[in-house]
Amino acid sequence: MYFVGRIYGMKEADIEKEIEFYSKQMEFSDYMDSRTEEYSHGMKQRIVIA
């Protein structure tokens, strides 16, 4: 999510706010520090949607 925000030219502070907001909305804030290969299939789908 951070990478895409930088591609779109967003400021770092704005990216952090958006990541926090959407991770809570999509209920994956507890997994933010986990490696993606540890995620379930459903969790990976949520990330793609976000």
Total tally of structural domains belonging to the chain: 1
Which range of residues forms the domain containing residue 14?
2-49
pLDDT score of 7:
95
Residue 21 to residue 33: CA distance in whole angstroms: 16
Between 50 and 37, residue with greater pLDDT: 37
pLDDT score of 11:
95
pLDDT score of 17:
94
pTM above 0.75, yes or no: no
> Can you read off the two tokens belonging to residue 11?
């400021």
pLDDT score of 33:
66
Burial per residue of 14-49, b for 16 or more beta-carbon CB atoms within 10 angstroms, e otherwise:
ebeebbeebbeeeebeebeeeeeeeeeeeeeebeee
**Which pLDDT tens digit goes with each residue over 6-46?**
999 999 999 999 988 988 887 777 767 667 777 778 877 87
pLDDT score of 24:
84
